[in-house]
Structure 1
């Protein structure tokens, strides 16, 4: 029996298999509102055969957006729009769907990557950005405001209110975004956090604000639903966040009651030179956290597209769940095809039964590429 296609529990949430669709920014929202693009994007992932889909980084407030085109959960209209999408999906899919809640920090107020990805100009709708320290992400970008206690309280409250909206909208899971150089990741790294108060310096101090956010979110989010976190394994720069700090942070979140830990990397330092992004290049970070907290559910991600590699990750105990992203964009039915390649039940929607391996003579017997 395939280990990748065996069931797993994430806290109170039962997944039918160990394939997750990782968050992927679509940069297609208007005033934080999902658009028809999101309807088809989320809808097709909901029939992908994955055990779980987590939708894109969604701003907890307008200031925390990466771009003007980010989705948001800070007002009633956004909440209602997501609720309509999820209500429709529940008429044809019971796949759990989560949302990643995020604040972009000093990487906010930019153009979408397809539009160059640089900082917005004053006549392009730019806004003030926040960070642990007044250090721009790179030359030509906004110099952020170093957060004071009032700023911290506002951000904490924004995460809490966004979680409450996510619950009412019908999401099954929330993922706290503490990776990729966004606000919480900025606090964790000594390269972007140069504070001299109780929020900077030692690893314990740098974790203090992210853990305040995490605790507030844990208190606000229903225990009948799942809660996880995405965190960086490295900054890919000398002097950045250390792996022992990462494992300590992950272990603390697990003990706090977080149901899974999702390991990624990078994005905090513009000049970082990331090694060749080979399939599974971030796996060692997930494996390190799994060793430090063996009872925690750990999710691995990073250019994984070969079903056999995904199977081995789970079978070898390196991680409990494998998250895919680009592979799902390339092939929205990657989980179905991977199941067939691993001799497991494809679990196709009944409407697509005619395309299953067993009944369609044209089925191509090869792993997704």
Structure 2
């Protein structure tokens, strides 16, 4: 094949090298606009895993790169006069110029044609069987064929400048400094025997307030030297971006995503020449997780591998390349987005003490979890766990202790006069098993089993305040004496047989009422016996299917408010420890909050303050009758996932309003307001909303959504992203989820129901045996693993 790589960065050079190694008959050219020894930027970072990939692809260049690397394990975080250090992270730094020179020399050695000082503005000038566009984040080729690639470029909020220094850092160092204009942070790491990279970053608003937008290059470097003087030990900062002047050296990071990665350009002979994106032209990942160069090199490896696997079908090779890489890249970009947003909002976390601030930073991308940190640096994590536990229960602990620390999910939590033994909540989950609103034996079994399973707080499903407020005929209620008696029976059982607390979630289904139970057709209207629906404004939840709701009038609003008050009073009489007001998921109160469902023109519609008015009135009414020593949480949808709907910015304001009204906690969910929603799912996908609300609105939160193991809960609680975690589906599969997860992570100091204690030690032994066998298998040779498998058979 004739192959032209437009762009001589790591992606183009490495792909050219691999293709020439794959088949010396390939004619491979790499065209670069800069001179061979130009470079803008300083050192780049790889993980140990990336080095393994390079060794497998080309051992010779990998050894040359390894010889030039500076390796370190430690991350050091400086914040508010404190220093926190964690080890075991396994990074390598290399000068960007050195990396390019190694790849350039290796390309020349195998016969790749390198063309420098040629700025390609038109790929039509090159006749080739394959054109690879790796011309950077501002790719001219991508722009030319934008209709095919459909790029989405998001310019991030922070400004940063890429500098160097002769101060040699012995750890990857993060330094945070507060100024009169806001917070600045430095990312610093050594990459050769003489030099370290020193990146200074700050939000755009802070950058402008400090006057950096009007400073010369020399003035802004001097500003950074003064700001970070105590870390530089008298060493100056240096810039090698001589082509930039003044504030232009401070740039914003472009997050690049492309819907398609291949454009097929028609040829005169009726065929097509594929033009494929690679590296930053295809995607970018923020420097704070050090993955831009990694992604570029792994793109090159995968494209070369795909071509080798489809030697006679280039189209199939390109399809395979994009299928494989798009998945890997999305995973990295999601992590990079989390990391980027953390650094954009450092001020969200500056109220943390240094120990928790550092933990939050280390786990910001969600790629490093609590147990992963334990694997990397058990001593650090044990010390942090002891510190966190001391903060939770007020008991002093030896933070240098290496063993018997308490995982964050098992620390207590107190709100008003209620203390929860741990941070696990059984989430409200609709069971559709009530008869005429009465919670029966099923609910006693369902909630009782989970209370005995180790969770600290068990929540009822949404319990409706009137017959018309029910989602389905199978939903429970709290509006008759029979309902009160039934619930009191369940509450008494939980209190008598466990040390869990039990809470009631009160709600009204609104426009989503009068439907079938889920297993007969979720959100589908009843075949007969439907009742009329009411909501903030007329709406039809499922277009052409659902009943239409009517707009609630003033008298009806007063009546519904009184129904909530009556239900709250009955919940107290039944002995519930906790109350939650359901203002999420498109139900009645939620329909006031969202502009998608509230089109009123009175004082209850229009602005967010007006849309909040009625839910706040209901909340104030139930707070007045609910005992002062018992908490009330409010569940909200923090994101409607529909253009024109509520956003996380709105959610922070909603949380502030409920806090001002006396709410103790926000239960942070999202969506289910409109069937037009397009949520972005993933592990712990709603936790960032909880993080924002907790740390911007200053109110305790419950995180929900795709939280399925102790590692998730520990990471969320330890990082201050929530105060409690509500677990739904895992609790359906295993009522004793909390007890099981404790045993899985080897935490034995949990209390089991006395009737079940015989099972505790057996489960712990079995899981310990499994962990030991997994460790042996990890250390075993392939032959030993095969022998063990045969022995098991």
- TM-score scaled by structure 1? 0.95
Q: CA deviation at 1:147?
A: 0.7
Choose from 428, 440, 443 the match for 1:35: 440
Report the equivalent of 1:157.
562
- Which runs of 5 or more structure 1 residues have no equivalent in the other structure? none
Instruction: String of CA shifts for 1:58-92, please: whole Å, max 9, x gaps.
Output: 00111111001000001100101111222233321
**Matched residues in 2 for 1:288 and 1:206: separation?**
21
* Residues in 1 aligned to 2:612 and 2:702: alpha-carbon distance in whole angstroms: 21
Separation in 1 of the partners of 2:472 and 2:709? 32
Q: Is contact 2:506-2:564 (8 Å) kept?
A: yes
2:423 to 18, 21, 29: 18
1:306 lines up with 2:715 in the alignment: no
Which whole-Å CA distance do the structure 1 matches of 2:408 and 2:768 have between them? Answer: 23
Larger radius of gyration, structure 1 or 2? 2
Against the structure 1 CA distance between its residues 108 and 240, is the aligned structure 2 distance closer, same or farther, given a 3 Å change threshold?
A: same
Partners in 2 of 1:119 and 1:269 — Cα distance?
15
CA offsets, 1:177-202, max 9 Å, x none?
A: 00111011111110111111111111
Distance change >3 Å, CA 366–CA 224, structure 1 → 2:
farther
Q: Which structure has the highest helix share of the two?
A: 2
- Any idea what SS the aligned residue of 2:410 has? coil
Matched-pair contact (CA < 8 Å) for 1:357–1:363: no
Structure with the bigger percentage of strand: 2
Secondary structure at the counterpart of residue 603 of structure 2: coil
Output aligned runs, 1:236-255, within 5 Å.
Answer: 236-255=641-660
Q: Secondary structure at the match of 1:90?
A: helix
The match for 2:689 among 276, 285, 304 is: 285
Find the counterpart in structure 1 of residue 538 from structure 2: 134
Name the CA distance, whole Å, in 2 between partners of 1:7 and 1:161.
32
Distance 2:497 2:769 in 1: 27
**Superposed counterparts of 1:1-369, under 5 Å:** 1-121=406-526, 124-139=528-543, 140-275=545-680, 277-294=681-698, 296-344=699-747, 345-357=749-761, 361-363=765-767
Distance of 2:598 and 2:686 partners within structure 1: 23
Q: CA deviation at 1:120?
A: 3.0
Shifted more, 65-74 versus 242-251: the winner is: 242-251
TM-score (norm 2): 0.45
Q: Residues of 1 paired with 2:531 and 2:513: CA distance?
A: 8
Q: CA deviation at 1:359?
A: 7.8
For 2:416 and 2:591, locate their aligned partners in 1 and report how far apart those are by CA, in whole Å: 28
Structure 2 runs not aligned, ≥5 long: 1-405, 772-793
Contact 2:426 2:731 in 1 (8 A): yes
| 1:3 shift after superposition | 1.1
- Secondary structure of the equivalent of 2:448? helix
| Cα 1:364/1:270, change in 2 over 3 Å | farther
Pairwise CA distance, 1:51: 1.1
In structure 2, the CA distance between the partners of 1:361 and 1:107, relative to structure 1 (3 Å rule), is: same
Verify the 8 A CA contact 2:511 2:587 in the aligned structure 1: yes
Assess if the C-alpha contact under 8 Å between 1:10 and 1:259 holds in 2. Answer: yes
Q: Within 2, Cα distance between the matches of 1:365 and 1:82?
A: 42
Deviations 1:157-181 (A, max 9, x none): 0000000011111111110000111
What is the deviation of 1:360?
Answer: 6.1
Number of matched pairs:
364
SS of the residue 2:462 aligns to: strand
Aligned to 1:356, the other structure's residue is in SS state helix
Query: Residues 98 and 175 of structure 1 are in contact (CA less than 8 Å); yes or no, is this contact kept in structure 2?
Result: yes
CA contact (8 A) 1:69 1:112 kept: yes
Distance in 2, matches of 1:273 and 1:354, equals 47
Q: Which moved more, 1:352-361 or 1:14-23?
A: 352-361
Change beyond 3 A, Cα 1:145–1:50: same
Q: Secondary structure at the match of 2:725?
A: strand
The alpha-carbon deviation at position 242 of structure 1 amounts to 2.4
Judge conservation of contact 2:536–2:592 (CA < 8 Å) in 1: yes
Once the 2 structures are TM-superposed, how far is the Cα of residue 46 of structure 1 from its aligned partner? Answer: 1.1
**1:91 is paired with a residue of what secondary structure?**
helix
The 1:258–1:366 alpha-carbon spacing in structure 2 relative to 1, beyond 3 Å, is: farther
